[in-house]
Structure 1
Amino acid sequence: MGLMALSRLMSMRRDRRHRKIKSRSMSIASAAKRKGSPGRQVDNPRGRKRRRYSVPDLPKDIWHDILSLLPLTDAARAGCVSQTFRSSWRSHPNLTLSMETLRLDGHTCREDKLGRIFTNRVDHIMRKHSGGVKTFKLHYCGSFFDSSYLNRWLEIAVTPGIEEVILSMPAGCNTVNYDFPCSVLLNGSGNSIRHLNLDRCAFHPTAGLGCLTRLHLYQVHITGDELGHLLSNSLAMEELNLNRCDKIICLKIPSLLHRLNCLTVFRCTALEVIENKAPNVCAVHIDGALEKLPVGDLLQVKELQMLHVDESNLVHYARSKLPFIMPNLEFLSVCSAEEMFSTPLLAVKLLYLKNLQIFLDDGQLGGFSPAYDYFSLAYFLDACPVLENFILGVLQTRVKHELISAGDSSMRRIPGHQYRNMKNVSIMGFCSAKSMVELTCHILENATSLECLMLDTVYDNREDTDGCCVKGSSGECRPIGRSMIMHAHKGLWAIEKYVAEKVPSTAKLNVKKLCSRCHKIK
């Protein structure tokens, strides 16, 4: 019975396979009869047969929709091989024009020549484009600049229906004096813009943008009155980001902006006062202490980022002041140029803080005081009973603190501390300073829910690209001083000697290795 069943099964499979082959052959034959179909053989004058392929006969609107889903470079490639694709990519709704998308990132010619090549390519694309742009991103490059070209590109791109405009001018040359032509936003052309991002230009708006939800300005020449007029007539605004806008003295945010929830103000050197009347701002990113630039009702703020490359003791300020003025914080990120005072022990807590990031940089004001105690950060952690994620980044060219020695067994402990909700801890710039080793061991002993501890002995405030060290454009590690390399190796020794054995079995220890080529001790 078994042999008969197997024989019957093999016969059924052969019949099924035969039917599939026959059906496929009939389909190919039928397709070959249609003009321009894939697989059709065509005789050429030299007697050789070649295949001619064409795309399926679909309505043009469908091809436009398909091409709109492709990145610009892929759509352009498709346009090189098909007349149908060519007409479609010229109406591509998402234009991102940069060195990378135009394949100029590998050119080694002079900057002025590179700028002319870039301008000619962009101009060719924009002249051929049929309109209907949804997203226009232009990252200008090179020292050659002619405002008439840029004005014409914006007139083509900014039409009714456009949703996003990003214009980034190159640093240097004369582009900082470029006046963004606000006339292109009139007559309904700018009413659909939801995201406007301008870098290194002048912007003097005379009207609001009714659908604008995000406004990002970097090194833009705009006065407080001009910005206030724009904001007063852009009632859909949700996010305002100002960075290095040095013409703004007074920033007035009207109460009509009920949707505004995120305010970012960095390095606006002339800014003296912020009058924020928007009722629902819950995320604030600002440089320096809040007393200098009050940002409105602080009780509802749930996210705060304080960054200042020239101001010291921001961590001490955050621990001693924020529980009183921002008691509802859930996310806090502090970057301080230096810390001269250890974190104080206070009874008041941040009851809702779940994410804490502390970045310390000794490269601006002369470095940390040797008396600064990393272990005192335990008092900050204890003030956050629901804290889940803690990141500490320390950039120091020289470690001035007492270093832990091979036979040192006198570790400080603070009885009563319990970090029951802490799951993830990252320490970048880990070194063999005794107080830092003590802090790490203290966390391991008291974080009962810890899932992951990440330790990196090299930290330079830049993005880690490959898991072992920070790379430059050449593929090599960005250079760091010999002293930092030596302390990185000592940090690895301290991890192996004092930290690794304290990691509980329920948690994962992730130690980022040093680059064997670039981080050798010579």
Structure 2
Amino acid sequence: MIELYIIVDPCYLNSWLQIDAILWIEELAFVLPSTCNANYYDFPCAPFVDDGCRNTIEHLCLGGCAFHPTAGFGYLRRLHLFCVCITVDELGCLISKSSALEHLTLKYCNMITYLKIPSLLQHLNYLMVSECTKLQLIECKAPNLSTFYFNGGQVKLLFGDLVQVKSMGMYCFDRCNTIYNARANLPSIVPNIETLSISSVSEVINTPIVPVKFLHLKYLSISLEAEHGAFSPVYDYFSLVYFLDACPVLETFHLAVSQTRMKHDSVFGDPSHLRKRREYCHENIKTVKISGFCSTKSTVELTCHILENATSLQCLTLDTIDDVDDIGKHVHETGECNPIGRHMIKEAREALLAIERYIMKKGPSTVKLNVLEPCRRCHAFAA
């Protein structure tokens, strides 16, 4: 593939866009190369101003430019802004005057510090905000918002009482105890949530015991991604039991731990007195998968707890490696192995021994136990 970069005078771009406006287009994607400064070109709003007859754009995607709207787009249903210079007030003006909006995506819009979604956006059902580095607060009152994804630093969420979010993803890349905050705060923010995916790079506070519950949550995915090789040994994996306790109708639980070395205490260091907690029975959990399963004592305790208390459990999968590559594909499905360091290959062998010694005998005959080990061809280990 040949990539060709041409320097074009902004006046020519304006002329082309003027023609597009005259043609009454419904979809417009305008993305400048990443090598361009986002302030290099101001996307012209005048040709597309909403005068009741001329503006027919339903899907608008802008990238790598500046955007300074002073009016709305009456027919706009999908808006995607990528590396766009737009102020809080300008974005607020655009959103508040685009009442047909259904789908909003903001990525790398680093001038935004505050995002306000008014209740008049009755049709908005999807919101994604990703790596807007200066964003501090998201306030949403759109009553029919059902899907919300966030990727970035710590932000404050204010959702109106009528917001009906069913699916949510929180992927935080700074040290903000995402799991702790999700357990402590999300049940009151999104009480109707059914699907929740959380990713954290650092947890130094264990999952708390909080009275309020996720009454409708059926699918829970928690990803722990080590920021500096090993996930913090301060965090107790067994405390995730308190998250499961808060999900009375939970059916599927997936825990993924991604690290290049392990600092937690091994179950072989002190195998006596494995903790148990029988105060709560997980009656609806049917499927559990733990990726990156290690021989840590707290992980073994968590797994044994699930086997002994998930009365409807049908399938438990323990994967001794983190089996998802950089683009989200499962290596066991594609047959393409990720490179794994010597320490984690050795740990995977320890994990297999821990499964055999402490977990296999716990599982009832009704539970299908799948144990996935490192590839013998790609992940061979010489002691």
- TM norm. shorter chain > 0.5: yes
Shift of 1:210: 2.0
Shift of 1:385: 0.6
Q: Which residue of 2 is the match for residue 490 of structure 1?
A: 350
Alignment counterpart, residue 269 of structure 1, candidates 133, 147, 150: 133
Alignment counterpart, residue 249 of structure 2, candidates 386, 392, 395: 386
SS of 1:498's equivalent in the other structure is: helix
Q: Which residue of 2 is the match for residue 248 of structure 1?
A: 112
Q: Does structure 1 residue 239 correspond to structure 2 residue 99?
A: no
Q: Does structure 1 residue 201 correspond to structure 2 residue 65?
A: yes
Q: Does structure 1 residue 115 correspond to structure 2 residue 115?
A: no
What is the distance in 2 between the residues matched to 1:190 and 1:382?
55
- The residue type equivalent to 1:347 in the other structure is P
Shift of 1:280: 3.6
Shift of 1:487: 2.1
Q: Which residue of 1 is the match for residue 199 of structure 2?
A: 335
Alignment counterpart, residue 212 of structure 1, candidates 46, 67, 76: 76
- More helix by percentage: 1
Encode CA deviations 1:254-283: one digit per residue, 9 max, x unaligned: 332122233333322233444544344344
What is the distance in 2 between the residues matched to 1:192 and 1:493?
63
SS of 1:455's equivalent in the other structure is: strand
- The residue type equivalent to 1:115 in the other structure is E
SS of 2:332's equivalent in the other structure is: coil
What is the distance in 1 between the residues matched to 2:79 and 2:32?
17
Encode CA deviations 1:421-451: one digit per residue, 9 max, x unaligned: 1122222221111111221122122222223
- The residue type equivalent to 2:349 in the other structure is H
Encode CA deviations 1:204-223: one digit per residue, 9 max, x unaligned: 33432222222122221112
Encode CA deviations 1:301-348: one digit per residue, 9 max, x unaligned: 443332210133221122223334443332222222211122223433
Encode CA deviations 1:402-433: one digit per residue, 9 max, x unaligned: 11229946432211322111122222221111
Q: Does structure 1 residue 514 correspond to structure 2 residue 374?
A: yes
Would the alpha carbon gap of residues 464 and 369 (structure 1) be closer, same or farther in structure 2, given more than 3 Å must change? closer
Q: How does 1:279-358 map to 2 (within 5 A)?
A: 279-286=143-150, 287=152, 292-297=156-161, 300-358=164-222
Shift of 1:235: 0.9
Would the alpha carbon gap of residues 147 and 413 (structure 1) be closer, same or farther in structure 2, given more than 3 Å must change? farther
Q: Which residue of 2 is the match for residue 403 of structure 1?
A: 266
Shift of 1:351: 1.7
Alignment counterpart, residue 227 of structure 1, candidates 72, 91, 94: 91
- The residue type equivalent to 2:3 in the other structure is G
Would the alpha carbon gap of residues 298 and 357 (structure 1) be closer, same or farther in structure 2, given more than 3 Å must change? farther
Instruction: Give me the CA root mean square deviation.
Output: 3.4
- The residue type equivalent to 1:392 in the other structure is L
Percent of residue pairs identical: 51
What is the distance in 2 between the residues matched to 1:438 and 1:511?
17
- The residue type equivalent to 2:145 in the other structure is V
TM-score (norm 2): 0.83
SS of 1:294's equivalent in the other structure is: strand
SS of 1:416's equivalent in the other structure is: coil
Q: Which residue of 2 is the match for residue 260 of structure 1?
A: 124
SS of 1:221's equivalent in the other structure is: coil
Encode CA deviations 1:136-174: one digit per residue, 9 max, x unaligned: xxxxxxx55546786677667676564443444443355
TM-score (norm 1): 0.63
Structure index of larger Rg: 1
Q: Does structure 1 residue 430 correspond to structure 2 residue 293?
A: yes
What is the distance in 1 between the residues matched to 2:35 and 2:334?
27
- Is the CA contact 1:469–1:514 (under 8 Å) kept in the aligned structure 2? no
- The residue type equivalent to 1:441 in the other structure is C
Q: Which residue of 1 is the match for residue 224 of structure 2?
A: 360
What is the distance in 1 between the residues matched to 2:54 and 2:381?
58
Would the alpha carbon gap of residues 249 and 444 (structure 1) be closer, same or farther in structure 2, given more than 3 Å must change? same
432-441 or 245-254, which deviates more: 245-254
Shift of 1:236: 0.8
Segments of structure 1 that go 5 or more residues without pairing to the other structure are 1-103, 105-113, 117-142
Would the alpha carbon gap of residues 343 and 270 (structure 1) be closer, same or farther in structure 2, given more than 3 Å must change? closer
Would the alpha carbon gap of residues 390 and 275 (structure 1) be closer, same or farther in structure 2, given more than 3 Å must change? closer
What is the distance in 2 between the residues matched to 1:483 and 1:298?
50
What is the distance in 2 between the residues matched to 1:302 and 1:491?
36
Q: Which residue of 1 is the match for residue 35 of structure 2?
A: 172
What is the distance in 1 between the residues matched to 2:371 and 2:47?
53
Q: Which residue of 2 is the match for residue 447 of structure 1?
A: 310
448-457 or 432-441, which deviates more: 448-457
- The residue type equivalent to 1:248 in the other structure is I
What is the distance in 1 between the residues matched to 2:313 and 2:30?
44
- Is the CA contact 1:340–1:368 (under 8 Å) kept in the aligned structure 2? no
What is the distance in 2 between the residues matched to 1:466 and 1:271?
32
- Is the CA contact 2:208–2:242 (under 8 Å) kept in the aligned structure 1? yes
Segments of structure 2 that go 5 or more residues without pairing to the other structure are none
What is the distance in 2 between the residues matched to 1:427 and 1:504?
18
Q: Which residue of 2 is the match for residue 499 of structure 1?
A: 359
